[in-house]
Structure 1
Amino acid sequence: MQSTNIPGRIKLARKMAGLPTQASLLACIPGWKPSRLGNYEAGISTPSADDMLLIAEATSVSACWLMFGQGPIRPSERDLQAVRHQNLTQMLKGIEEDGERLATTIKRLRISRKRLREHLDNPFLPISDELAGRLERLLETKPGWLDEQHVEHDPLFLSFPEEMRELMMIYSELPAAQRPVLMATVRALRESLSATD
């Protein structure tokens, strides 16, 4: 079962890009050995920022989301189904190992075990508004919770200062054409501050 950590997001990004295997993603990133991507997806090693950018470009997802789980999944739009799938995976993490909890969950969701497994395995399988509502009632969360991204369990993102997280969110939410403007502004500010020191 995928989780909302970096390895899980790399796998999800790959599947969302229509790349079913690691080899199919490697074909989009020349020069990488299979073990490199395999180690990233297995959580054996953590990608550098440059490698995360290459994966994000190859899978057409936001680098900020890929690294931190924050912001729109795709730079140009909020991918509702991907957000729902990510939250479903996180909320049901570990439930398959607990037969009693799994049986109760399936009953309350009014869904078969097979269908639940299909939802967990396939980020392209739409989670209907009706099923989303049942999931939210099961969790006793507010309506719309499943449609929001939640990073409270991502220690890497939370390790950054609040201002830095906000800046990363702003960058992630900008259209690609406007990002160089933000970066130029930040660099100009840095040079201005350096000149006054």
Structure 2
Amino acid sequence: MQSANIPGRIKLARKMAGFRTQASLLARIPGWKSSRLGNYEAGISTPSADDMLLIAEATGVSACWLMFGQGPIRPNERDLQAVRHQNLTHAMDGIEEDRERLDETVKRLRISRKRLREHLDNPFLPITDELARRLERLLGTRPGWLDEQHVERDPLFLSFPEEMRELMMIYSELPAAQRPVLMATVRALKDSLQSA
């Protein structure tokens, strides 16, 4: 199972945007070779910040969420099902390889292996409140845990200084039309500090 990392978020963003295939998303990003997106989704190569922004714009997700797994998935919106899917994927990472743990997991969740696999493969398959609460009990977490994003699991995000993470969050949550204003303000501040 793919953990909730950059390749996993790129694939999830593509599926949530309704692009069933990589080719259908590539049609929205002119100039990219077919292998480029495939390499990003497979984790073979890591996209640049500019490429992450192009993917975010083409799929309608927040650039901050796409890169770091932090903040709302879509600007000015919290997509509950996508958050639940991301957390389920992370929680189940490695369980399929351990037959005993898998048997115990599906028994306690009261679903079949096939149904669990469908939930992991399909971000559009709704995770009901009842299943979410059963998973939380299985994991020993508090009610509502599955409905929240947990950035502490993303090592890339944590590798950045706190101020940079905050700035990424601010940028991500702004409407697209206001982002250039923030960037112009930051650049003006930088220029004034350099000339002082």
Please state which band the TM-score falls in when normalised by the shorter chain.
over 0.9
Specify every segment of 5 or more residues in structure 1 that has no aligned partner in the other structure, as ranges. none
Q: What is the CA-CA distance between 1:37 and the residue it aligns to?
A: 1.2
- Distance of 2:70 and 2:62 partners within structure 1: 9
Normalised by the length of structure 1, the TM-score is 0.95
How far apart in 1 are the matches of 2:59 and 2:65? 12
User: CA deviation digits over 1:120-141, x for unaligned, max 9?
Assistant: 0110111111111111111111
Report the equivalent of 2:69.
69
| Alignment correspondent of 1:34 | 34
**Is 1:113 aligned to residue 109 of structure 2?**
no
**Deviates further, 81-90 or 177-186:** 177-186
Provide the residue aligned with 1:193 in structure 2. Answer: 193
Give 1:179's aligned residue: 179
How far apart in 2 are the matches of 1:177 and 1:30?
22
Aligned residue number for residue 146 of structure 1: 146
What corresponds to 2:123 in structure 1? 123
Q: Which residue of the partner structure matches residue 45 of structure 1?
A: 45
Q: Name the CA distance, whole Å, in 1 between partners of 2:30 and 2:118.
A: 32
Normalised by the length of structure 2, the TM-score is 0.95
Is the 8 Å Cα contact of residues 3 and 9 (structure 1) preserved in structure 2? no
Equivalent position SS for 2:104: helix
| Counterpart residue number, 1:55 | 55
Report the 3-state secondary structure (helix = DSSP H, G, I; strand = E; otherwise coil) of the residue aligned with 1:179.
Answer: helix
Cα distance in 2, alignment partners of residues 36 and 184 from structure 1: 31
Alignment deviations for residues 29-53 of structure 1 (CA, whole Å, 9 cap, x no partner): 1111111111111111111111111
For the aligned residue pairs, the C-alpha RMSD in angstroms reads 1.2
Q: Distance in 2 between matches of 1:144 and 1:195?
A: 50
Q: Give identity over the alignment, percent.
A: 87
Distance between the aligned counterparts of 2:136 and 2:29, measured in 1?
38
Q: Which amino acid aligns with 1:145?
A: W
**1:104 matched residue in structure 2:** 104
Whole-angstrom CA distance in 2 between matches of 1:172 and 1:187: 17
In the alignment of these two chains, the number of paired residues is 196
Question: What CA distance in whole angstroms lies between the structure 1 residues aligned with 2:142 and 2:166?
Answer: 24
Superposition misfits of 4+ residues, deviation over 6 angstroms = none
Return 5+ residue gaps in structure 2 as ranges: none
The whole-number CA distance in structure 1 between the counterparts of 2:147 and 2:114 is 23
